[in-house]
């Protein structure tokens, strides 16, 4: 049986080493990734409610904050508020 390779010792059959380390970005904190922190969101929602009570336009506030909202449910709710703004 000459010419046959033993798979256990054949370097051609072993898996290649990765060329770069594993990326753990999915485990990073939301604020590290550019999203708003819970504290920022709470302050924004308080400011939004205050502006709405005073009858001030909130469309610009919403446009600035929406890209920083990671929570899908909250993003949908705020997007719906923006779409319901007068003049849209």
Whether 7 maps to a domain, the answer reads: no
Q: What is the pTM of this model?
A: 0.68
Whether 70 maps to a domain, the answer reads: yes
Give the structural domain span for 52. 35-88
CA torsion through residues 39, 81, 83, 77, sign: positive
Whether residue 11 has pLDDT greater than 90: no
Whether 19 maps to a domain, the answer reads: no
Whether 41 maps to a domain, the answer reads: yes
Whether 48 maps to a domain, the answer reads: yes
Phi, psi at 17, each rounded to 5°: -75, 145
Whether 3 maps to a domain, the answer reads: no
Torsion of CA 21, 26, 32, 35, to 10 degrees: 150
The pLDDT of residue 67: 97
> What percentage of the chain reaches a pLDDT higher than 90?
57
Whether 2 maps to a domain, the answer reads: no
Which whole number is the average pLDDT over 6-33?
A: 72
On whether the CB atoms of residues 82 and 48 are closer than 8 A, the answer is: no
Which whole number is the average pLDDT over 72-76?
A: 97
- Which pLDDT tens digit goes with each residue over 28-52? 888 988 999 999 999 999 999 999 9
The pLDDT of residue 5: 54
């Amino acid at each position: 049986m000459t010419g046959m390779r033993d798979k256990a010792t054949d370097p051609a059959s072993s898996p290649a080493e990765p060329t770069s380390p594993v990326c753990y970005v999915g485990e990073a904190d939301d604020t590290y990734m550019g999203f708003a922190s819970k504290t920022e969101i709470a302050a924004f929602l308080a400011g939004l409610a205050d502006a709405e009570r005073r009858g001030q336009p909130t469309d610009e506030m919403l446009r600035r904050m929406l890209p920083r909202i990671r929570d899908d449910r909250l993003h949908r709710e705020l997007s719906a508020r923006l779409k319901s703004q007068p003049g849209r």
